[in-house]
């Protein structure tokens, strides 16, 4: 599997803001009081449970950002690669340098790394669950404000698919658009009147009747919202390859395969990012 490009610019912005939040006005006063001068040391990022690694580059970004002013940056050695699966006790990376930098940057690094690895670990489990069906697992825009680029990177690292990153990524007609426009047919007519390519449009439908209306406009994607596997199977039959089919709403990790086997092209889960459990990673200095 090809690892996607790490979102360096967004990650650096997140790291700087997180350090500002954590260090306060006067920095790590405890570490400064205990260690007034440089102290050389080594830290190890250690997996406390099985995980899929995502975001190891953050170790360098946090330590190079200077969480302890005046101390030398910490070097990152022996780092594993994003996308690797690690077990309890395995080392993600070794960090070497002034322990004051390690201590001051520890919490920010762990907060971010544990969350991204949690997302990657859950995504990998979902991908494995529907293996062989032809369906893909995708994320949504239900991300942590400010962390979207990093969270979607973690999904992609684990073999998931990124849905639109921003609202300008594609046209996606949802329930509120339809209601406010006076119905699906009117909403789609307005979109096409605006010059948008139908093949680049996705339309959410709540029933097989709405599906028939959507197909009149030849959209590229049909989003089946809160439909059970049998309804999805019937929708796939009705579409007959004229559009690709996404299923969303009510999908839960560990219970995905019936929807994938019904013929959906993509299963999108907000749970990958909005309610994921951070994995347990320690920094042993």
Average the pLDDT over 179-193 and give the result. 95
Model pLDDT, residue 3: 73
In a domain, 3, yes or no: no
Do 138 and 266 lie in one domain? The reply is yes
Sequence-ordered alpha helix ranges (H) in the chain: 8-23, 29-34, 57-64, 99-129, 148-157, 175-181, 184-193, 208-215, 229-239, 257-261, 271-274
| Residue-range definition of the domain harbouring residue 135 | 128-274
pLDDT over 90 percentage in the chain:
97
Do 96 and 134 lie in one domain? The reply is no
Look up the pTM and report it.
0.95
Do 239 and 139 lie in one domain? The reply is yes
Q: What tens digit of pLDDT does each residue of 115-152 get?
A: 999 999 999 999 999 999 999 999 999 999 999 999 99
Do 177 and 100 lie in one domain? The reply is no
Model pLDDT, residue 1: 60
Spatial distance between the Cα atoms of 150 and 14, rounded to a whole number of angstroms: 9
Determine the 3-state secondary structure of 218 from DSSP: coil
Model pLDDT, residue 73: 83
Q: What is the CATH number of the domain that holds 195?
A: 3.20.20.70
Angle at which helices 99-129 and 57-64 pack, to 10 degrees? 160
Do 258 and 132 lie in one domain? The reply is yes
Whole-number Cα distances in Å, 26 to 21, 23, 148 = 11, 7, 29
Cβ atoms of residues 47 and 281 within 8 Å: yes
In a domain, 1, yes or no: no
Q: What tens digit of pLDDT does each residue of 234-261 get?
A: 999 999 999 999 999 989 999 999 999 9
Residues acting as catalytic residues: 107, 142, 174, 204, 225
Q: Beta-carbon neighbour count of residue 240 at 10 Å?
A: 8
Do 240 and 134 lie in one domain? The reply is yes
Do 48 and 132 lie in one domain? The reply is no
In a domain, 2, yes or no: no
- 41 burial level (CB within 10 Å; 0-12, 13-18, 19+): middle
The total number of structural domains that make up the chain: 2
């Amino acid at each position: 599997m090809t690892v996607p490009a790490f979102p360096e610019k967004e990650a650096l912005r997140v790291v700087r803001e997180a350090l500002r939040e954590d260090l306060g006005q006067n920095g790590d006063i405890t570490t400064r009081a205990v260690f007034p001068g440089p102290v050389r040391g080594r830290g190890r990022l250690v997996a406390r449970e099985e995980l899929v690694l995502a975001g190891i580059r953050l170790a360098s970004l946090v330590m190079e950002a200077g969480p302890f002013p005046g101390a030398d940056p910490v070097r990152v050695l022996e780092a594993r690669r994003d996308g690797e699966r690690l077990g309890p006790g395995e080392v993600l990376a070794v960090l070497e340098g002034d322990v004051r930098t390690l201590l001051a940057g520890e919490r920010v690094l762990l907060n971010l790394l544990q969350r991204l690895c949690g997302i990657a670990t859950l995504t990998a489990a979902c991908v494995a669950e529907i293996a062989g069906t032809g369906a893909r697992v995708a994320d949504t825009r239900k991300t942590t404000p400010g962390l979207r680029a990093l969270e979607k990177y973690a999904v992609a690292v684990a073999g998931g698919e990124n849905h639109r990153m921003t609202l300008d990524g594609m046209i996606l007609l949802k329930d509120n658009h339809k209601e406010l426009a006076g119905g699906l047919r009117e909403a789609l007519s307005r979109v096409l009147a605006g010059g948008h390519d139908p093949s680049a449009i996705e339309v959410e439908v709540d029933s097989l009747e709405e599906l028939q209306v959507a197909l009149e406009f030849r959209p590229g994607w049909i989003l089946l919202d809160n439909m059970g596997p049998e309804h999805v199977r019937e929708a796939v039959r009705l579409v007959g390859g004229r559009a690709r089919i996404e299923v969303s709403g009510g999908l839960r990790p560990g219970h995905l395969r019936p929807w994938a086997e019904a013929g959906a092209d993509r299963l999108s889960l907000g749970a990958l990012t909005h309610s994921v459990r951070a994995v347990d990673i320690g920094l042993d200095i």
